[in-house]
Amino acid sequence: MKLTGLERVNRMFARQDHDRVPRHDGYWPETIERWQDEGLNGDVKQALDLLQSDFHAINWLWPQAFPGREEIVSIDKDTRVVRDSNGKLVRYWRNKSGTPDHLGFECDSREQWERVFKPALLSTGLQNDPEAVRREYQRGRTRGRWCYLAGVESFEDTRSLMGDETTLIAMAEDPDWIRDVSQTYTDVMLRNLDALMATGIQPDGLWIFGDMAFKTATVCSPQMYRELIWPDHRRLCDWAHAHRMKFIYHTDGDVNGVLDLYVAAGFDCLQPLECKASMDIRNLCPRYGDRLAFFGNIDVMVLITNERAKIETEIRQKLAAGMATKGYIYHSDHSVPPQVSWDTYQFIVSLLDQYGRYT
């Protein structure tokens, strides 16, 4: 019996029998451009249709202090520098993707936060259009997909607002400031989410994004995370559960040291599980697979070799580990980069058909 995406993902979360591993993926823009040159007839939507993705995003929510503001400061043939809607000065590449260069932050002191940025953030209106979100929800439901709300959590926004250096120093020297930023941002986030739910939609999940780790560890100690940020992560998770949704958390990096805190907060699923940061579901599933679903962990460093034998071994082994718990979703361990050919990606889908079926 073939299930819909909605049925498949819900049964995965319940650890019930389902027909195949649920699937989703992300792609760099340059990846889609390469694939179009190599035979992809369409865009991201067509790539996800080939994959038979089971997921459907209905929004993107990242509350900003000054929504809609983007002031061009300078521009040249390769880059542009802007003052963005969180007040920071950022240099972007003009013709390619890549990590932006953060040049400066207006919110560089507690006084600036309390005088300018906190009032600005609290005074903003809704930063999603509820009616547009309702229409997107209906589109996902029509396709039988697992529909989710998506947005950014407070630690990622704090770093965007203040920069890593100021944030991390303040976590040690002025923790009440960090608590205030995190709580205020989460208040605004929940206010927006409540407005979306008031349209009568019933999404299946809340997928929250925020990178809180390097290659070797979290950027702060587990205890500091527990005291300053974790309470607001738990608030988001509690909100999702109160609205009959599952909670998915995205973070890059090595978060092995805080997995118990994720479980204690009630997280339902962790994504994308970066291989080069010592995340490996072959180790994690036996320890946490009854409490956490795992979403990803297919090593893009293997995929970019375009060597079929290596790719087959990677997918076969990771799927076997995840499927042993019935709580696994296919995804690369990062967005699929442009070094992966269109031919290789079609081969990956064929491997999912071969190794990712329960029946």
Assess if CATH 1.10.760.10 describes domain 5-63+129-355.
no
Q: In 3-state terms, what secondary structure has residue 148?
A: strand
- Domains of the chain: which residue ranges? 5-63+129-355
How many whole angstroms separate alpha carbon 221 and alpha carbon 168? 11
pLDDT per residue as tens digits for the range 303-324: 999 999 999 999 999 999 999 9
What sections of the chain are H helices per DSSP? 5-13, 29-37, 44-51, 110-112, 118-123, 130-142, 154-162, 164-173, 175-197, 222-228, 230-242, 259-265, 281-288, 300-303, 308-323, 342-355
Arithmetic mean of pLDDT, 286-290: 97
pLDDT per residue as tens digits for the range 40-87: 999 999 999 999 999 999 999 999 999 999 999 999 999 999 999 999
pLDDT at 120 over 90: yes
Q: What is the CA radius of gyration of the chain?
A: 20
pLDDT at residue 47, as a whole number: 98
Q: Cβ(255)–Cβ(218) under 8 Å?
A: yes
pLDDT per residue as tens digits for the range 128-149: 999 999 999 999 999 999 999 9
pLDDT at residue 152, as a whole number: 98
pLDDT per residue as tens digits for the range 221-252: 999 999 999 999 999 999 999 999 999 999 99
Q: In 3-state terms, what secondary structure has residue 150?
A: strand
Q: Over the chain, what is the mean pLDDT?
A: 97
pLDDT at residue 102, as a whole number: 94
pLDDT at 1 over 80: no
Q: How are the residues of the chain apportioned to helix, strand and coil, as percentages rounded to the nearest 5? A: 45, 15, 35
CA angle 35, 40, 46 (to 5 degrees): 110
Strands 246-251 and 205-209: parallel
How many whole angstroms separate alpha carbon 257 and alpha carbon 280? 14
Residue 147's DSSP bridge partners are 56
pLDDT at 273 over 90: yes
Scan for tokens 């994720």, then name that residue. Answer: 262
Q: Cβ(266)–Cβ(236) under 8 Å?
A: no
337 Cβ partners below 8 Å, 6+ apart? 28, 30, 31, 300, 303, 304
Is the bond preceding 272 in cis, omega lying within 30 degrees of 0?
A: yes
pLDDT at residue 359, as a whole number: 82
> Edge-to-edge, what's the strand order for the sheet holding 269-272?
55-57, 146-152, 205-209, 246-251, 269-272, 293-295, 328-329
pLDDT at 347 over 80: yes
Arithmetic mean of pLDDT, 3-28: 98
